[in-house]
Structure formats: structure tokens, C-alpha cells
Amino acid sequence: MKHLRLFSLSMAMLVGSILLAAQSINAQTQPLKFNTDGKFKIVQFTDIHWVYNSDNSKPARERMIEVLDAEKPDLVVLTGDVVTSKPAEKGLKEALAPIVERKIPFALTFGNHDDENDLSRKELFAILQGMEGNLTTTTEGITGVTNYLLPIKASADDRAAAVLYVFDSNSYSTIKGVKGYGWIEHDQVGWYKKSSAAFTAANGGTPLPALAFFHIPIPEYHEAVQTESNFMIGTRKERACSGEINSGLGTAMLAAGDVMATFVGHDHVNDYAVNWRGILLCYGRLTGGNTTYNDIPQGNGARVIELTEGKREFQSWIRLKDGVVINHVNYPADINKR
């Protein structure tokens, strides 16, 4: 019994150290918490591709404002390619203005285009730290800049009731002879496995409900759509543009048993959600305006996700212009029908 107490204490200390690390790099410590109805709502904006002081960016701002005012989320997660022009600092602040003006907490991960202008990932990260509502932080010692986790606390106390994992999916291959986009590296997968195991141990051996957000899809996105019997909803107009290397994140999530769904961007004319071995692999909806390719039916919008406290379930839908809502999915009920 003594050994069990020591083990539980050590796991609690490990979770505490993970939480401290997640908050240590100047991010605001505003807690995320299920409301009294046991709900927590997230809006995902992706691929805004903001160009500073350009009329072509106006549709992105209009849609962001419309979605935020209709959904009133508890958190906004931006999954990369936020700013794609110089000056990047002014563009980043312009792009995030609708969120900051409404004092909504936000978390961001970078895409492959954010640091192609006049600022590096680290320089953009430093700018975020001074913005109201920012929860974007970093984990030192692993590949990438925007790797961190965000616990969502229970409605009645300070227990972690769910976890959001945010990964930096990097930009382009750095291996000679391997072309194309980057991927989430092995050390990042190791960080996830360690963090997930600590939360599971602190929760008495039961994995906490979790979601994961990153920019570039993992290869399993393409694998999943090849099986016709898999549940799938939404638009698919291009092959998933993942990196050529599969570093094992999907397998790690299956083994850990906590992540219910992943949410990415990158491919502007995809907004589908597809079942892969019980994990729902989801795209956000292109939020950008006329600064990038955007020929997805019905135009730009956002994905909405609503978690339910104490349950391994969530709802998600796409919100478009003028209050149009499409592609409603209930996890896991809908995928269990197949």
C-alpha cells in the first residue's frame, strides 16, 4: 500500500511538472474549464493566410467575426498558416484581432508558411506572448516551437477532466532524399506518450478524453479514406498532403487510448472527418479569404467542437457564411453505426 501511495504521489508530481512546463514560457495562465452544463466549446480557425492591409483578407475577418459571435466559444485554436506576408508582426496582429477584441482565450500552432516572411517561428512566438488571451506556449528540448498541452478542468473543481495536445508539425523535410512536407518528429511523439501516461496514471489508470491539433495531416488521413466502409463526412477535393515519413504519432495515440480526434488544416479544399481505427481524423474548414486557393464549395468558415464533461464523446460541425451549418457529427455514436 505504501508503494502504491508513493507511485500515485510520483505520478501527481509528474503531472504537476508537465502542467508547470506548459505554462512556463510566458503564456497567460488563464484556466480552461467546463461550464456548469458540463460543456466546453472550441472553434478551430485554419489557414487564414492573412496578407497585411489587403482587401483580399477581408473575407477571413468577416467569417471569423460571424463564427465567434454565433458560437461564443470557450477557446479558439488556430492550426497554422495564419500569416503569409510581410510585415509578419502586423499581419499576425491583424489576423488575430477578432479573437483578441472579444477577449476569447486562444491557442496557436504554426504551419509551413508562417515563418516564410520576415520573422522566424521563435520571433512570432515571442509576439504572441504579449497578446491578451494567448495560451500558446512551448516545450523546451524537443523539435518545433508550438508543442504544448492544455488541460480542461472539471466544472466543480480543479481536476483535469480533458486534455488538448497541440503539436508543431514543422514545415518541410530535413532529410536528404526525402522530399515534401515535414512531420511530427519522434521526440515530439515521445513527449506526447510521456504526458499522456502521466495523466492516465493520475486518473487512476483511465485515459482522460483528449483531442490533438496540428497543421500538416499525418499519413493516416489518406489511409483512412481508402476504406469505403469507414465513416466519413465532409468535402474531400485533394489527397492529404502529409509528409512522406510516418513517425508513429497515430500508433502512439491508439496505444495510449486517450485521443478521440485530431484536427488539422493545410489542405484548403478538404474539411472531412473520417474514422481511423476509432480515432476521428478531422480537417478544419479553410478560414482564409482570397489570398490563397479557396475553391471549396460554399466558401470559407470554421470547425466547431463541443466536448461533454465526464464522457469520451464530442460533437462537431462546420459553420459557414450567413449562419449555414453543415457536416454535423457525433463522436463516437456516428462512427459506431458503421
Residue 300, pLDDT > 50, answer: yes
What is the arithmetic mean of pLDDT over 301-327? Answer: 98
**Mean local confidence (pLDDT), 93-105:** 98
Identify the pLDDT of residue 169: 98
Cell representation of residue 245: 515519413
- In the chain, the number of structural domains is 1
Q: State yes or no: pLDDT of 104 exceeds 80.
A: yes
Q: Tens of pLDDT along 37-50?
A: 999 999 999 999 99
Q: What pLDDT, in 10s, does the model give residues 64-97?
A: 999 999 999 999 999 999 999 999 999 999 999 9
User: Residue 337: its pLDDT value, please?
Assistant: 83
Instruction: Report residue 8's pLDDT band, with 50, 70 and 90 as the boundaries.
Output: very low
pLDDT surpasses 80 at 212: yes
pLDDT band at 31, cuts 50/70/90? confident
Q: What is the mean pLDDT of the chain?
A: 93
Return the pLDDT at 9.
47
Position 29 confidence tier, pLDDT thresholds 50, 70, 90: low
Percentage of the residues of the chain whose pLDDT score is greater than 90: 90
Residue 15 has pLDDT above 90, yes or no: no
What's the CATH code of the domain at 260?
3.60.21.10
How high is the pLDDT of residue 263? 99
- Predicted confidence (pLDDT) per residue in 243-291, tens digit: 999 999 999 999 999 999 999 999 999 999 999 999 999 999 999 999 9
Sign of the Cα pseudo-torsion (297, 300, 303, 304, in order): negative
Average pLDDT for 296-320: 98
pLDDT of 177 higher than 70: yes
Query: Which structural domain, as residue segments, surrounds residue 226?
Result: 2-336
Is residue 187 pLDDT above 90, yes or no? yes
